[in-house]
Amino acid sequence: MTSEQNAKSMSIIVTKGALDQAYPPFILGTTAAAMGLDVTMFFTFYGLGLLKKDLNLKVTTLGNAAMEMPMMGGHIAMPNILATIPGAGALTTSMMKNLIKKNGVASIEELRELAVEAEINIIACQMTLDLFDYKPADLIDGPVLGGAATYIEVASKSDINLFI
C-alpha cells in the first residue's frame, strides 16, 4: 500500500503455520494496512504454508502449555499429553473453529484475502520453498519470492518490525 507519502511502515516475519498462530500476523498486518501503514509480511518456514492455495490449518495442544478451552461455563486445560491421543488434533481444531465462528472472528482465508486486497507486500521465502519442496504454483497469486536480504532491506526502513 503506497497511498500516502511519508506513511509509517511495518514488517512482520511470519514463521508459524498453525491455525491459532496464523491469527496474530494477519490481524496486525491487515489492521496496520487499514490504518494507512505500508505493510510487508515475510512468510518463512512453517509460516510459508499460510500462502498455500488450499489451507487446512490445525491446532495442537503440543507445545501450547497455556492452552485451555472454554467449556460448560468454565475452562478446561488442554495438557500437552492430550496430543498423543489419536484424534486429539482433530478435536482441538474443531473446538477452535467453533469458537472462531461463535465469536464472529474472521477465518484466516478471509483475513488473507483482505491482506492481498489491502496491497500488503507479501514475500514468500524462496529458501523455504526449496526446503519443503513447494512450487510457486502451490501458492496464492501475489507473493514476491525473496530471501533474507529482501526482508532486511524492507525491515531496515520500517518503523515497526515484528517477529511472530
Partner 1 sequence: MADQVLDVKGLNCPLPILKAKKLLNTMEQNKTLEVLATDPGAVADFEAFCRTTGNTLVESRQDGDVYAFVIQRTA
| 104 lies in the binding site for partner 1 (CB under 8 A) | yes
Q: Which residues contact 102 (CB under 8 A, 6 or more apart)?
A: none
Options 25-33, 38-46, 54-62, 81-89: segment touching partner 1 (CB under 8 A): 25-33
35 contacts partner 1 (rule: CB under 8 A)? yes
Work out whether 116 is an interface residue with partner 1 (CB under 8 A): no
> Counting contacts by CB under 8 A, is residue 34 touching partner 1?
yes
Q: Minimum distance from CB of 126 to partner 1 (Å)?
A: 30
Q: What is the distance between the alpha carbons of residues 45 and 49, in angstroms, rounded to a whole number? A: 8
DSSP designation for 140: P
Q: How far is the CB of 20 from partner 1 (least distance, A)?
A: 15
Question: Is residue 6 a contact residue for partner 1 (CB under 8 A)?
Answer: no
11: enclosing H helix or E strand: strand 9-14
Q: How many Cβ atoms sit within 10 Å of the Cβ of residue 38?
A: 22
Amino acid identity of residue 101, one-letter, is K
Nearest-approach distance from CB 4 to partner 1, in angstroms: 9
Tell me how far, at minimum, the Cβ of 119 lies from partner 1, in Å: 12
Using CB under 8 A, which of 1, 20, 27, 82 touches partner 1? Answer: 27
- Integer Rg of the chain from CA: 17
Angle between helix 19-34 and helix 88-102 axes, rounded to 10 deg: 30
70 near partner 1, judged by CB under 8 A: no
Of 42, 35, 23, give the one whose Cα is nearest residue 151: 42
Give the residue, chosen from 5, 6, 103, 156, that forms a contact with partner 1 under the rule CB under 8 A: 103
